[in-house]
Amino acid sequence: MSSGVPQMIIPASYTCIPMNPCTVENCKGVCKIQLGECCIPRYM
């Protein structure tokens, strides 16, 4: 059950925006580096 990088489950309450590269400095949420996306909670 180890097929490379584990997929992070992003709740539906999160909004993902394109961000490449995604770093902790410019993303105040969850970085999905493989997809080049920054996912942040909608209430923030």
- Is 4 domain-assigned? no
Task: State residue 41 phi and psi, 5-degree precision.
Answer: -60, 140
Q: Which pLDDT score, from 0 to 100, does residue 28 have? A: 86
- What does each C-alpha distance from 41 to 21, 25, 32, 33, 44 come to in angstroms? 19, 16, 14, 17, 6
Instruction: Find how far residue 26's CA is from the centre of its chain.
Output: 12
pTM value? 0.61
Intra-chain end-to-end CA distance of the chain, in Å: 35
- Is 3 domain-assigned? no
Which residue ranges in the chain fall short of pLDDT 50? 1, 44
- Is 6 domain-assigned? no
Q: Which pLDDT score, from 0 to 100, does residue 7 have? A: 58
Q: Which pLDDT score, from 0 to 100, does residue 4 have? A: 57
Q: Domain total for the chain?
A: 1
Domain residues for the domain of 33 are 12-44
Q: Which pLDDT score, from 0 to 100, does residue 3 have? A: 56
Q: Which pLDDT score, from 0 to 100, does residue 17 have? A: 92
Q: Which pLDDT score, from 0 to 100, does residue 42 have? A: 79
